[in-house]
Each structure stands twice: as structure tokens, then as C-alpha cells.
Structure 1
Amino acid sequence: MDFSLAPDQRLMQESLARALAEKVPLDRVRAYAADPNDAAGDVWSLLVEFGLPGMLIPEEFGGLGLSLLDAALAAEALGAAATPGPFLGACVLAPLALRLGGSADQQREWLPRIAAGEVVTGAAIAEPVAGARDGAGVTVSGGKLSGKALFVTDALSAGLFVVADGDGGLHLVRGDAPGLSRYAMTTIDLTRRLGELQFDKVPAEPLGEVLPRLRDAGWTLLAADTLGAAGTMIAKAVAYAQERKQFGRVIGSFQAVKHMCAEMAAELEPARSLVWYAAYAFDEAPEEASLVAAHAKAHLSEIGRFIARTATEVHGGMGITDLLGLHYWFKRIGLDRQLLGGPERVRRLAAQMQGLAA
């Protein structure tokens, strides 16, 4: 029995990583972070060229018909490069919502356009998944939505939204719908745009009740993003330790620094199989998917924070400078930790799934 990735999966991930290294260097990430009006159109074009918006869309609608494991491998590469621009909502959550819960007419109208990269889609599902805050929450009455949603992916640029109401129902909202207002939100992570949507009796189309499936996919993909970002932070820490000198020796020759680097690697490597299995289970073992997705999200949130802190410490004072840019990965891991629920909430939900908590 083969538990490794298929050759074409490895090739896809490696090809994407090489393209990102060439087309999205640190200077491009820095420019995106510095300009709130930068829509990262060049990065989106690259993702479309690789077929990422259509990865989870069936071939009959112009997609690739791939699995969540393939999307997780792409997410790992994107996290490793701190890639700016849309992905989670546009390439994963919205396509899944339409594929799993959309009507035939909705699928025919939207899936081909999403697969072709013609429309960027956002996802507003944070409140029923992670818990409402600041008076946020969406209600539905007579097919129209009212209230507000926070931490919406690509809230300012999306042409279509998947919105969850307070009871877990999903709705499709056009970006130009009357009564819909959008506002930017400032988060610690400047490599991804999140925002607030306000609804004033906004017309919406109902989708099927598939929010738990979107939650599982979101948890898994955020864990994969952390996996990639943490891997880059380890690589940068090791490279710095091999060139920085103190007392006439590279600091990597000191036992304390060796231990820090080894401990980071020892924490991260076993997590890789956890993330891969969570993504595999989404399609192949759905009865296990929710629990293993929760484990992946919670565990990667914890070890991601440890690696982000330790890698920065290896760099010493240079670790917090903008010149080095390590903070882009540090803060990306921080947002991954809290988006769609922090590890404490996710573990509590996992306990409830197993009947261990009320």
C-alpha cells in the first residue's frame, strides 16, 4: 500500500513553488502589503494559469475535478511563498459550496466562470464557525439578508459571495446586489485581504446545507497554509544560522542554536501527514473528515506559533526587521491560527464531535 503522494501531485506542487519563487518574490509581497489598492492581478493570473480556481470544479464545468488533497498541496506552496491575493474563498470555499450545495442552474451559471478565473468569489462564514463578535451575524427573512459578516475573504474585490447566516444556512450573494456594503478590515496579515460585509435586506439565493463541509475544508486548507509558511521560516532560520557569525564562528555551530532548529523540524515534519490525511479524508473518508480537520487546524495552529517564534529568535534582532521580511510569514501563521476559529475553540468542537463535551 502506497501512502505517498502521486507523481503528478508532487510535480504540480513543485511547479507551482518554482513559479511563485520566480513571479512572487519578497519584493512583490512587500509591495502588495504596502498598497491597500493592489489587487494582485498578476498573482491571480498566475493562479488561473495553474488552474487553481478550477481545481475542485468538475470537468463538465471547465474545472480540473481534483481533490481537496490537491488543493492542500497548492495551499502549502502558497503559504511557503506568503503569496498575496485570493485563494481560500475563491479557489476552495465558494467552488465547494456551489459544487456541493448549488442548484443545477447556479452551477451552470457560476462554476465555468469561476474555473476560468473570470470572477473572484469571497466567503463569509466566520460567525457560525468561529463564533460571532462585535455584534456580527446575518439573519435571513423572505429571501433577503440583514446584518453584518466579519473576516470575509476578498470582501472588496469579489464579484460573488457565499454567505452563512446565524443558523448555518448558506446563501449566494452577487457582488453588485442592492443593499450590500463592503468595508476593509485591518488584520495582522497584510498578504491577504479580509473585510466586513453589511447587509440591508440584500437579495440572496439559497444554497444547500453544506456549511460543515466548508468548515472542514477551510480548517484543512488553513493548516496546509501554516505548514508551508512554517517550513519557509525553518529554512530561513537554518540558512541564517549557517552564515551569521558570532565569536568567530557561525551561530549554527552552537549547540543551543542547533537544538532550536532541530526542535522546529521535529515538530513540523510529523504534522505533514496529519494535514495530508485531513485533506484525503475530506473526499475519501467523509465520516472522519470533521474530526481530523479539527485536529489538523488545532495542532498546526500551536506548532505554527512555536516555529514562528523560534525561527525569529534564531535570527536575533534581524528577525523583526522589515528588511528581512520574516514577519510576513510570522503574521500569516498568526492569521491562520485565528481564522475560522482558534485552536481552543476548534478543540472544544472536536470534543463535542466525540461526545466528550456538551
Structure 2
Amino acid sequence: MRFGLSEDQKLLQESVTRALEALAPLERARRFAADEEMVAADVWAGLADMGLPGLMIPEEHGGLGLGLMEAALAAEALGRAVAPAPFLGSAVLAPLALMRGGSEAQKARWLPKLAAGEVVAGVAISEPIAGARDGAGVSASGGRLSGRSMFVLDGPGADLFIVADRAGGLNLVEAGAGGVACENLPSIDLTRRIGELVLDDAPAEPLTGPGALEAMRDAGWTMLAADALGAADAMLEKAVAYAKERKQFGRVIGSFQAVKHLCAEMAAEIEPARALVWYAAYAFDALPAEASLTAAHAKAHLSEIGRFVARTATEVHGGIGITDLLGLHYWFKRIGQDRQLLGGPEKVRDWAARLQGLAA
């Protein structure tokens, strides 16, 4: 059996990559990192013109009706460009929560707006997946939520939130409702916004469909792995390009065997990792019995591979690798945040071991 991308999937990824070259060059990521804007509205509007926010949303609600495989290809392109776009929360996890857990009325109200990019959704599911920090957690009672959720994906500037409570239920909260406040939570990655959501007896609508949180976890792990894959790819390309032009002792450093080995090791780690990410996305769409385990493998493995590539590519650049002028640190830090969001590799591997009966 030959597993590869279809022509349509290749075209999708190439189209997103080309669009990001115009919409989100490195200078745009620099401005976003330096400014106080919570959402890069111009970047998101440009991606909305391509239909990217509605990638996974059914056609009857204004979307393209594609799967997680196509979303993973888009995430890979976004990671390669370190694009400041609220893709993971608004285009993947929030639509998935509504499609799996929402009522027909909730779907009809919110999915068309998400598909058009008219609203941005923040996703607060870190506590039940990665574990609560600093006493964080949200309690639900009588259609009201109280508590605090950390590491809210695409939270700052969001128009609505998908919030997981302590009992594992999902809830929809409008940003403008009383008792809702979301602040920007400073993190190492300045190309994406992570929030801290505080709820004080805030009104909420439950999403009652079964299995929605588990599906969001699996999709989130796969998307973070895809984003890290794209960022690692970009760092390898930059390292190879630099090795071909930087001269030392009268010859380009790429001609030295030690530098060749560093670049070859990065490439050798990335290529099989790409197949793992693609298979995890494919399993989510077509092999649900394998989805959870392959998503965990992809997240844990890309966390390690990404860190290795980020470190090695920086070493190839020598002293200039850590300078702000070069900008390599944007990819380095993006990979670092992908590693920790929704659980670090140690926690994800522990979960995978328990799923397979290898740990209590």
C-alpha cells in the first residue's frame, strides 16, 4: 500500500504556503510579536478569503467539509511561516466541539460565523488534558461557570470560548457575557496568543454530544505535531541555506563533514516524523480506533524531534543563530510551545502507555 497525498491535498498545502508568503512574511510575525494586537486581523481575513477557517466545517454551514488530514497540511504550512493566525482554536477545535457536541441550534448559529472568519473562538481545555496548574479549573452548576482556565488557545481577542469543566463537560461561553474575562498570558511564543480565562458565575450553554472532548484532544495533539513539523522543516531549510553561503577558512561551512552530518541528521529525523503526523491525521478521519494512540505518538515524537532540530539548526548558524536580526528564535520558540501545549511529551507518553495497558 502506498500512502501519500492526493493532488488536491498537495494543491491545498501549496496554496496555503504561497498565500502565507504574502500575508505573513517574517516581518509580519515580528510586528505581531512586538505589538499589543490580540488577533492579526489582516492575516486572518486573507486566510478567510481562501476558506481556511471553514476547512473542517460542513458545507451546509458554509465550510469546505474537509477532514483533519487537510487541516494538518494547513497547520504544517502555518508552522513553517510562524504565522500569527488563530487556526488551532477557531478553525479546528471549536468547530470540532460544535460538530461533535453542539445542538442543531448551536451549530446553525456559530458554525457559519466561524467558517466565514467573522468570529474567533478560544478553546480552554488544558486542565482536563494536561492537568491543572496553580489551582486552575472550572466548575459548572446550573448553566453557570466559575473558576479559572490557563493556556487558553487563541483566547485573547476571542468572541466565544469552548470551556471544559472539572467534570469533563464542554460549555460554550460568549466573550461579551457577564463574568467573563480573558487576559493575554505571556509565553515564549509571541507569534500566537495564549490566554487566562476567568469566569465568575458566567452564563454558559452545555455541549452535550458524547466524545467531543476526546476528539478535541486527539485533534489538538495532531495539529500541534503538524505545526512543529512545519517549523522544524523551515529551520532545516534555513540551516542548509546558511551552510551553503557562510565561509570559514576559505570555504563554505557546508563543505565540512561535521556540518554535513548535522544537516543530514535533521533531515533523517524529520522525514519519518512527517509520515507519522500524516498518518495520525488520516487515522482521525478514517480509522477512529487508532486515532487516540497515533495522535499521542505524533505529539510526543514531534515534541522531541522538533527540539532536536531547533537546537541543531541554531548550532549550524553559530553565534548569529541566537540574534533577533536573524529571527530564527521565532521558530525555536514556536516549537517549544508546541511541545508543552495540551501536555508535554512525558505526560502524553504516559497516557499512551496506559491506553495500551503498559502502565497502571
For this structure pair, what is the TM-score category when the shorter chain's length is used for normalisation? over 0.9
Partner in structure 1 of residue 265 of structure 2: 263
Deviation at 1:2, TM superposition (A): 4.1
- SS of the aligned residue for 1:301 comes to helix
Distance 1:310 1:5 in 2: 29
Aligned counterpart for 2:318 among listed residues 311, 316, 320 = 316
CA contact (8 A) 2:183 2:196 kept: yes
TM-score scaled by length of structure 1: 0.99
Structure 1, unpaired ranges of 5+: none
Offset, 1:52: 1.3
Q: How far did 1:38 drift? A: 5.3
User: What is the identity, as a one-letter code, of the residue corresponding to 2:324?
Assistant: D
Residue pair 2:83, 2:191 contacting (<8 A) in 1 also? yes
What is the CA-CA distance between 1:256 and the residue it aligns to?
A: 0.3
Question: What is the deviation of 1:345?
Answer: 0.1
- For the residues of structure 2 that align with 1:251 and 1:186, how far apart are their CA atoms? 37
- Could you say which residue in structure 2 is the equivalent of 1:276? 278
| TM-score, length of structure 2 as denominator length | 0.98
Partner of 2:114: 114
> How far is 1:154 from its partner?
2.2
The CA deviation at 1:182 is 1.5
Aligned-pair CA distance for 1:229: 0.2
Q: Distance in 2 between matches of 1:27 and 1:202?
A: 39
Equivalent residue runs for 1:66-81 within 5 Å: 66-81=66-81
Task: Answer yes or no: is 1:42 the counterpart of 2:34.
Answer: no
Asked if 1:123 corresponds to 2:97, the answer is no
C-alpha change, 1:38 and 1:162, in structure 2 (3 Å) is closer
Counterpart Cα distance in 2 of 1:315 and 1:91: 35
Q: Percent identity at matched positions?
A: 69
Q: Which residue of 1 aligns with 2:237?
A: 235
* 1:100 CA displacement: 0.9
Q: What RMSD over aligned residues (CA atoms) do the two structures have, in Å? A: 0.8
Q: 1:138-197 deviations in whole A, cap 9, x for unaligned? A: 111111111000111222211111000112110000111110111110000000001100
Q: How does 1:46-195 map to 2 (within 5 A)?
A: 46-195=46-195
Picking from 228, 247, 250, the partner of 1:248 is 250
Shift in alpha-carbon separation, 1:62–1:176, aligned structure 2, 3 A:
same
How big is the shift at 1:107? 0.5
Q: Is the 8 A contact 2:88 2:154 kept in 1?
A: no
Contact 1:85/1:193 (CA < 8 Å) preserved in 2?
A: no
Between the aligned partners of 1:345 and 1:36, the Cα distance in structure 2 is: 33
> How far apart, CA to CA, are the structure 1 residues paired with 2:73 and 2:156?
27
Letter in 1 for 2:148: K
Distance 1:115 1:165 in 2: 26
1:216 aligned onto 2:218: yes
Q: Which residue of 2 aligns with 1:327?
A: 329
Equivalent-residue separation in structure 2 for 1:343 and 1:333 (angstroms): 13
Shift of 1:57: 0.7
CA offsets 1:88-143 (integer angstroms, 9 cap, x no match)? 00100000000111101100111111111111111000010000001100111111
Displacement of 1:37 in angstroms is 2.2
Amino acid aligned to 2:175:
G
Distance apart, 1:22 and its partner CA = 2.1
Residue 218 of structure 2 contacts residue 292 of structure 2 at CA under 8 Å; is this kept in 1? yes
Structure 1, 324-333 or 20-29: larger mean CA deviation: 20-29
Partner of 2:9, secondary structure, is: helix
Residues 74-83 or 208-217, more deviating: 208-217
The number of residues matched between the two structures is 358
- Contact (CA 8 Å) 2:122, 2:156: kept in 1 or not? no
What residue identity is the alignment partner of 2:200? Answer: D
2:23 is aligned to 23
| Whole-Å separation in 2 of the counterparts to 1:128 and 1:27 | 36
- Which amino acid counterpart does residue 348 of structure 1 have in structure 2? D
Alpha-carbon offset, residue 61 of structure 1: 0.6
Contact 2:82 2:231 in 1 (8 A): yes
